[in-house]
Structures are given as C-alpha cells and as structure tokens.
C-alpha cells in the first residue's frame, strides 16, 4: 500500500493508497508513524471539520468534480525557498491534464539550468495531489520517478497521469 503524508497547518494527514487490483484511496489516517491519534475509513467515523473537509476535497478531485486542490491549508514552512518556488510554480503554471519536463519547470520557476535541482525539490514534495508533481516528466517523454522512485510510486504516477488525461 502506498502512503502519502500531508503536513497541514493544523495536523498531519496520511492518505493510504491501494494499488492492486486497481488504484484506490483506501483510508485516511490523522497523525503519522506508529502513534496515530485517529484513523478514519473513508466511509465512516466522524473526523474533525478540517479532516472532513480535506477528505471531501480529495473525493471531489478523484470523482473529477474539481480539477485542482486548494493549497491555502498546506504547511510549506519546512520547504526551502527554492523548493517552495518550484512547487508553487508547478501548481500555478501546469494545469490539470498537462505535463511539463523537469527542464521546462526549471525555466518556469526562473532557474533555467536547474532541472536536476527541480527533480530534487519535487522528490521532497509532501503534497503530491495538491502540488501535482506527477505532472512533471522527463524531457524524453518517459514519466520518471514518483514518491521516491519505487515501482508502486511510478505506477501511482502513471495512474494519476492517465486519470487526468481522460
């Protein structure tokens, strides 16, 4: 199962993805690590208003009712200025259903010779659905890595690219 952790201003939230037999958001966990404070199945429980809103937004995205997720609740304080610039540029300039190469994103972010640094910044992205690093591909058109480059991460990236292109 894949795990995506979002560091929000008020809480940490983990999204757990099932990859077999098909990709699906399995559950949402409030907190991180072994000491989670609460776990909520997508169909049950009564989470806080913030978590309920977050789950609703992700559901709307996954049912294609919205195309972009808002970033105002994300805690970007742990990012370097360069990481923040790259990720915010990605969110602002690369729309739903499109892709850009690492080099193109570097240029858009004002650092045209920093394709490798852009890749490093994307690797540290804690908000992959909100700041959609899955939209960044290699200059040769191959999809590149995702969430650490694991096989399941690359499959998730392919799923998200296919999801947005249909």
The dihedrals phi and psi of 102, each to the nearest 5 degrees, come to -60, -45
The fold for domain 81-165 equals Arc Repressor Mutant, subunit A (1.10.10)
Whole-number pLDDT of residue 152 = 73
Q: How confident is the model at residue 154 (pLDDT cuts 50, 70, 90)?
A: confident
Cα dihedral 29, 123, 2, 162, rounded to 10, equals: 110
pLDDT band at 101; cut points 50, 70, 90? very high
Q: What pLDDT does 95 receive? A: 93
The pLDDT of 107-133, averaged and rounded, is 91
Q: Average pLDDT in the 113-118 region?
A: 96
Cα angle 116, 131, 8 (rounded to 5 degrees) comes to 120
Tokens 């559950």, located at residue = 27
Catalytic residue (choose from 58, 133, 137, 160): 133
pTM score > 0.75 for this model?
no
Q: Where are the domains of the chain?
A: 2-62, 81-165
SS3 136: strand
Least confident residue range of 13-17, 89-93, 114-118, 122-126 = 13-17
15-70 tens-digit pLDDT = 666 666 666 666 665 554 433 334 444 444 444 566 677 777 777 887 888 888 77
Tell me if residue 53 is catalytic: no
- Whether 67 and 96 have beta carbons less than 8 Å apart is answered as yes
């Amino acid at each position: 199962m894949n795990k995506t952790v979002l560091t929000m201003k008020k809480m940490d939230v983990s999204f757990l993805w099932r990859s077999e037999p098909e990709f699906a958001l399995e559950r949402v966990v409030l907190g991180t690590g072994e000491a989670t404070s609460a776990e909520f199945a997508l169909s049950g429980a009564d989470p806080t208003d913030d978590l309920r809103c977050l789950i609703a937004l992700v559901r709307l995205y996954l049912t294609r009712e919205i195309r972009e997720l808002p970033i105002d609740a994300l805690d970007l304080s742990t990012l370097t200025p360069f990481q923040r610039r790259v990720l915010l540029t990605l969110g602002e300039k690369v729309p739903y259903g499109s892709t850009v190469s690492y080099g193109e994103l570097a240029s858009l972010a004002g650092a045209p010779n920093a394709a490798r640094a852009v890749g490093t910044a994307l690797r540290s992205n804690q908000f992959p659905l909100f700041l959609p690093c899955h939209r960044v591909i290699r200059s040769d058109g191959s999809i590149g890595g995702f969430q650490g480059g694991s096989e399941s991460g690359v499959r998730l990236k392919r799923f998200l690219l296919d999801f947005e292109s249909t």
